[in-house]
Amino acid sequence: VTPPIISAILTTVVAFSTFFFLEGRIGDFFSQVSTVVIITLSVSLLEALIILPAHIAHSNAMKKGGKRFLINRFGDWFMDFLRDRLYAPSMRFFMANKFLAFSIPVALMIIGIGAIAGGLVRVTFFPSIASDRVQITLNMPQGTSEVITDSIISEIEAATWEVNDEFTARQHGNKQVVENTIRRIGPGTSTATLEINLLPGEERDFPSDDIANSIEEKVGPIYGIESIEYGSGSNFGGKPVSVSLTGNNISDLKGAKEMLVQKLSAMPQLKDISDNDPEGIKEVEIKLKDNAHLLGLTHSDIMSQVRSGFFGAPVQRFQRGRDEIRVWVRYDRGTRSSLKNLDDMWIVTPTQDRVPLSEIAYYDIERGDVAINHLDGKREIRVEANMKNRNESATDMLAGIRENVMPGILARYPTVTPLYEGQNREAGKLTSSVRFVLPAILFAIFALIAFTFRSYSQPLMLFIMVPFSLIGVAFGHWVHGFPINMLSWLGIIALIGIMVNDGLVLIEKFNSYLKEGLKFEDALYQAGRSRFRAIFLTSMTTIAGLAPLIFETSRQAQFLIPMAISIAYGIAVATLLTLYMLPLLLYINNSYRVTRKWLFTGVRPNREEIENAIIELEADKKDMADAQARHDSI
């Protein structure tokens, strides 16, 4: 059994090595997981080949007449019951009704795909990580005084304590749900944050999302603000909804931004709509009249004199001890404190005449830009939003925005180009790296199995079963109420290596029975029956090991639960596929090879002689006979 054991360990190692080649933050995280898994598997291989045989040799279980405990007798009875009363009769039935045996997993896979496509099982990019803290970020228009900003954030703080009273009344033990709040102003007078520290998640009966949403409902709409965000956790890879509008026409960009923000604000599934193009402070933009040019004045001349009058101009500098003193001259406070002073200002012409500014220029008051963002060489404005319910499908939401919202905006502003960023971009990086490395990983696994069994068709039968693991993945996420995300798909990749292990055990025994002289169908039946205990126990112990993680309620575990669900439920389905579907696939493969040889040679072989195990056995016998003949001739 050494070759199948080594092959089983190596295929799992190869499957987990996929994570070393993933790009982005997810690759950085799971490469560490892969390192631990691969080291553990390597040590377990040494344990199985070197240490375990020595332990078994000295075990009381190998001695005849040894004492057997009640739990051992019960375990043997239970496994015999499952094997002889449930599995063996059902295996006989499915081997006699092969069409029915294949139609069941195919139908279940179609149902699983339909559940995902129909939204019964939701799909998103990355899981949102819950927190023991709610952070409310308030952004006011630039130039807002600290007093106004503080008054608004104080009202939000008061609403927070009202919400705390409501949740505390429903909390087990009437513990305070909100432990404390921290209010800060800054950076700048127009920005404020309210940090709300909650009761630890292990003791709290309510998710932080519910508390944040209740505070938002209690506060209601606040008019005159730039944006407000009720953050209740972190989003891996960015916000779930993030649309970058790019182009060179600034007015079209701003118009498209306003239209998109308006559309997103009307969607009840979204909250915390914000953009990276806040209004700046108010600016006075001076524009020339036609008669200014007749007087020989340029825009630069006028702006220079306005700056000198209101801001000042350096006229002298001198040294006083070690200090350099600069002297600036400007209007006194009374003549530079209002816009009326600007109207009354006199401008000196190139001919040294003096004319009122209002006669040669006019001005507009507009808000300037706080920041100018570029993406791929074009001006960019990014609009982002969070999901109100973290278990809703961000994938469906973004697809709806792309198909239903953006066409109308682009028809009105054709110079704007949308790019979908945030989690969508991180997921794209991950998908592209998986698309690049997965074929090589699958080929390596295929090669390992092919070398083990000296067959190309038997490894192919194992690979045919892999897509059917989607049955367990879809069912598991539906049962636990988790959306399928990128980590769930990564769990399927890790599952490939684990699925192959059970198949290796069964195929190795099947080949062994063929070499012992059993008929083809008897070898299939006996291989499944004799390896039932090993396959069942291996799968159940793996599922049992993942169960504490799946049912863990702490916020630290939520990130890994989707991957654990994929592996656990995938293994459960893979166990049934290995015990029932794999023998039938081997039967179909054998029928194909028999028919092919019959068509090409005109001679119909029996099922046994076409199998690689028998061909290899006959070749070994021939080699031994040739060697014996050479020995006799000498």
- CA–CA dist 234, 272 (Å, integer): 13
Superfamily of domain 69-124+452-626: Multidrug efflux transporter AcrB transmembrane domain (1.20.1640.10)
Write the class of the CATH domain 281-369. Answer: alpha beta
Q: Would you state the pLDDT for residue 481?
A: 83
* Residue 581: DSSP 8-state: I
> For residue 460, which of 469, 474, 450 has the smallest C-alpha distance?
450
Q: 534 phi and psi, to 5 degrees?
A: -65, -45
Report the pLDDT averaged over residues 293-312: 85
Q: Would you state the pLDDT for residue 276?
A: 78
What is the bridge-based pairing of β-strands 354-356 and 346-348? antiparallel
For residues 296 and 554, which has the higher predicted lDDT (pLDDT)? 296
Which pLDDT band, with edges at 50, 70 and 90, does 344 fall under?
confident
- CA–CA dist 591, 528 (Å, integer): 19
Q: Would you state the pLDDT for residue 188?
A: 79
Tokens in use for 410? Answer: 């682009």
Comparing 63-67, 163-167, 547-551, the range with the smallest average pLDDT is 63-67
CATH level 2 (architecture), domain 128-280+372-426: 2-Layer Sandwich (3.30)
- Please determine, for residue 107, whether its predicted confidence score (pLDDT) is greater than 90: yes
Every domain of the chain with CATH number 3.30.70.1430 lies at 128-280+372-426
DSSP 25-80: HHHHHHHHHHHHHHHHHHHHHHIIIIIHHHHHHT-GGGSTT----HHHHHHHHHHH
Under a CB-based contact definition with an 8 Å cutoff, are residues 274 and 227 in contact? yes
- CA–CA dist 496, 486 (Å, integer): 16
Every domain of the chain with CATH number 3.30.2090.10 lies at 281-369
- Please determine, for residue 353, whether its predicted confidence score (pLDDT) is greater than 60: yes
Task: Choose the most confident range, by mean pLDDT, from 101-110, 113-122, 205-214, 376-385.
Answer: 101-110
- CA–CA dist 95, 1 (Å, integer): 27
Which pLDDT band, with edges at 50, 70 and 90, does 395 fall under?
confident
pLDDT tens digits, one per residue of 438-479: 888 888 888 888 888 778 888 888 888 888 888 998 999 898
The model's pTM: 0.70
Comparing 69-83, 459-473, 575-589, the range with the smallest average pLDDT is 69-83
Place of tokens 């040679």: 601
pLDDT tens digits, one per residue of 116-138: 888 788 877 776 666 778 888 88
Comparing 469-483, 509-523, 555-569, the range with the smallest average pLDDT is 555-569
Q: Would you state the pLDDT for residue 234?
A: 65
> For residue 243, which of 397, 108, 346 has the smallest C-alpha distance?
397
Which pLDDT band, with edges at 50, 70 and 90, does 222 fall under?
confident
- CA–CA dist 42, 13 (Å, integer): 8
SS3 105: helix
How does the average pLDDT of the chain come out, rounded? Answer: 83
Which pLDDT band, with edges at 50, 70 and 90, does 66 fall under?
low
* Element holding 486 (H helix, E strand): helix 486-515
Q: 329 phi and psi, to 5 degrees?
A: -125, 130
